């Protein structure tokens, strides 16, 4: 405090343009130059499926794919991935149709409270994109950075194996239980 004037000890970050392709859409937003990718995706781009769990790189809830590689968005400076192709959990589905990995998590109990699920789906999809025939050990390695306190992990491994079968063409995706319909409250319940 100088006289009546408050002087911050931490200089404010300046705002910079950030642009990347997120879930197939070009995005150009203004964000603090020191923002982490998690905050830009949630607060500027609106991808609320990217979850903040620990905010320190231990839970995996915030995982997204950057140029096809899973990354922890809470530990990634947004400016460092400027111009990348980013996929969040919202980008896995094909329009109204769930991706096989999403469908299999739902069918095999891989998602219970669901808070960890976006991160698991991203890590799993990144694995299946490279290796559609993973062993259980390879799956365990791929998801070792994701924590789940509900499922005990076995159902998650079963879900990923079931999705792998669909990716290999050894099984068919289940038919949707109902056809997609428009949001009855597009501007909220009120
Ligand atoms: S919120 Fe990023 S690892 Fe937990
Ligand atoms: S389903 Fe609840 S933490 Fe994983």
Ligand 1 pocket check for 57: Cβ under 6 Å: yes
Q: How confident is the model at residue 163 (pLDDT cuts 50, 70, 90)?
A: very high
| pLDDT tens per residue across span 54-90 | 999 999 999 999 999 999 999 999 999 999 999 999 9
Has residue 190 got a pLDDT over 60? no
> In terms of Cα–Cα distance, which of 91, 9, 77, 96 is closest to 37?
77
Has residue 175 got a pLDDT over 80? no
Q: What is the reported pLDDT for 93?
A: 95
- Ligand 1 centre distance from Cα of residue 145 (Å): 9
**Higher pLDDT, residue 4 or 16:** 16
| pLDDT tens per residue across span 112-141 | 999 999 999 999 999 999 999 999 999 999
- Ligand 2 centre distance from Cα of residue 111 (Å): 6
Has residue 188 got a pLDDT over 70? no
- Ligand 1 centre distance from Cα of residue 116 (Å): 10
Ligand 2 pocket check for 114: Cβ under 6 Å: yes
Tell me the two tokens of residue 89.
């959990």
| Alpha carbons 73 and 60: distance in angstroms, whole number | 9
Ramachandran sector of residue 176 (left: φ over 0; alpha: ψ -120 to 50; beta: rest): beta
- This prediction has a pTM of 0.87
Ligand 1 pocket check for 70: Cβ under 6 Å: no
Q: Which of 63, 116, 160 has the most ligand 2 atoms within 8 A of CB, as the residue to mutate?
A: 116
| In this structure, CATH architecture of domain 15-91 | Roll (3.10)
Q: What is the reported pLDDT for 177?
A: 54
List the residue whose alpha carbon is closest to atom 4 of ligand 2: 148
Has residue 111 got a pLDDT over 50? yes
Ligand 1 pocket check for 166: Cβ under 6 Å: no
In the chain, CATH 3.10.20.30 covers: 15-91
| In this structure, CATH architecture of domain 100-168 | Orthogonal Bundle (1.10)
| Alpha carbons 39 and 131: distance in angstroms, whole number | 30
Ligand 1 pocket check for 147: Cβ under 6 Å: no
Q: What is the reported pLDDT for 49?
A: 97
List the residue whose alpha carbon is closest to atom 2 of ligand 2: 113
In the chain, CATH 1.10.150.120 covers: 100-168
Q: What is the reported pLDDT for 178?
A: 55
**Higher pLDDT, residue 2 or 144:** 144
Whole-number average pLDDT of the chain: 91
Has residue 4 got a pLDDT over 90? no
| Alpha carbons 156 and 107: distance in angstroms, whole number | 11
Q: How confident is the model at residue 172 (pLDDT cuts 50, 70, 90)?
A: confident
30-43 average pLDDT score? 97
């Amino acid at each position: 405090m100088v006289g009546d004037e408050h002087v911050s000890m931490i200089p404010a970050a300046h705002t910079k343009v950030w642009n990347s392709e997120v879930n197939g859409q070009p995005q150009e937003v203004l964000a603090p130059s020191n923002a982490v990718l998690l905050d830009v995706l949630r607060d500027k781009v609106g991808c609320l499926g990217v979850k903040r769990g620990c905010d320190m790189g231990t839970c995996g809830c915030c995982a997204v794919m950057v140029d096809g590689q899973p990354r922890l968005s809470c530990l990634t400076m947004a400016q460092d991935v400027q111009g990348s192709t980013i996929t969040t959990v919202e980008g896995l589905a094909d329009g109204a149709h769930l991706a096989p990995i999403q469908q299999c998590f739902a069918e095999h109990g891989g998602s219970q409270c669901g808070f960890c699920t976006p991160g698991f789906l991203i890590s799993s999809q990144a694995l299946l994109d490279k290796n559609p025939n993973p062993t259980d050990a390879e799956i365990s390695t791929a998801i070792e950075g994701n924590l789940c306190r509900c499922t005990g992990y076995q159902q998650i491994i079963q879900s990923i194996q079931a999705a792998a079968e669909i990716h290999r063409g050894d099984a068919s995706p289940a038919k949707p239980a109902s056809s997609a319909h428009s949001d009855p409250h597009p501007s909220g319940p009120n």
